[in-house]
Amino acid sequence: MQATYHKYTLNFKRPSGTSRGVMTTKETWFIIVKSENKTGVGECGILRGLSVDDRPDYEEKLKWVCKNINLGLETLVSELVELPSIQFGIEMAFKSLESEAQFNLFPSQFTQGQDTIPINGLVWMGDEDFMRQQVKEKIEAGFNCIKLKIGAINFQTELDILKSIRKEFSISDIELRVDANGAFQPKEALEKLKRLSEYQLHSIEQPIKPKQYEDMAKLCEVTPLPIALDEELIGVFLEEKKLDILQTIKPQYIILKPSLIGGYSGSLQWIRNAEDLNIKWWITSALESNVGLNAIAQWTYTLNNTMPQGLGTGSLFTNNFASPLTVKNGTLQYDINKDWKFKLNE
């Protein structure tokens, strides 16, 4: 087996804002594994300032992986515990290599174009007009679950946007989720959750910054609005620690981003522990290209989770790779009449 890695910069169609800042580009790396006459492709994607493996020696680690690819999947994954995005890229590359078709990693009714995955429509932060425009676009596109990034503009303005949606659409018409990306201070969080709960929201992601276990546990105990942990899961490598966090905080939901928490194997550890504690979960992409999104979506379908997933990010970039993945009527679909066009400037 031989392996190489290649850096690729994805360009956003329009700047995308969260409470952590505005993104215009997203770096990602591809691991290409070759054995005999077959080629496997894996994507290693980090989010600057958020991924635990956003570190100066990242490319050195990729070089090490390529040099030692013949150690095999299990050994490589165990050696890279603190580099979850590379773990996922390797899992993906090996799965791609052993598959009959390079991008058909988990054959199913989804990949045959016979079934779909419900997803949420994502509304990025911006000024009020921009956010309202995005909400309108998502509803017109057939989404019945919309997730709004909040916490960067005036809170009352955000409440007004939610209020205007609820005036027009009931809870049975549109499921509303919000994601604060840790923007609230612990002292103010409960009051803000009370005000948000007036608009019959499905949930709020990560209201306060991670690693404030006591504050988050208190919040989850008394919240009027279900809380989903997201960033809280990043950088937790040991299964015992995962269980400890869930038992301590007792959230209503957890959100799994395979690139940030150790790929399929890391995500499954969280899922097992969450289900033992009756904590619900869903899966979200972390702004991967269509290669990574495809690997997450196909795997997600096999888990039989009927909630809307966070997998609608493929159309955000100007230079994404053409693929069969299509968003239609609030679902992610696999259009078997479309081909993959994956080409790197090698």
CATH number at residue 233: 3.20.20.120
Q: Is 257 a catalytic residue?
A: yes
Same domain, 328 and 190: yes
pLDDT score of 198:
97
Residue 122 · residue 312 · CB < 8 Å: yes
DSSP E strands in the chain: the ranges are 2-18, 21-35, 38-45, 117-118, 121-123, 145-149, 175-179, 203-205, 227-229, 253-256, 280-283, 325-328, 331-334
Catalytic one of 257, 328, 341, 343: 257
* Predicted pLDDT of residue 214: 97
Report the pLDDT value the prediction gives residue 344, as an integer from 0 to 100. Answer: 83
Name the catalytic one among 61, 147, 149, 242.
Answer: 149
Say how many domains are in the chain: 2
Query: Over the chain (346 residues), what is each successive 10-residue block's mean pLDDT?
Result: 97 78 90 96 94 97 98 97 98 97 98 98 85 89 93 89 90 93 95 97 97 98 98 96 98 98 98 98 96 98 97 90 96 97 79
Domain that holds residue 52: 2-98
Strand arrangement of the beta sheet that strand 2-18 belongs to: 2-18, 21-35, 38-45
The token pair that represents 8 in the structure block: 């690729």
96 and 102 Cβ atoms separated by less than 8 Å = yes
pLDDT the model gives residue 17: 67
Using CA atoms, how far residue 261 sits from 66, 82, 106, 345, in Å, is 21, 9, 20, 29
Q: CATH code at 24?
A: 3.30.390.10
pLDDT score at 176: 95
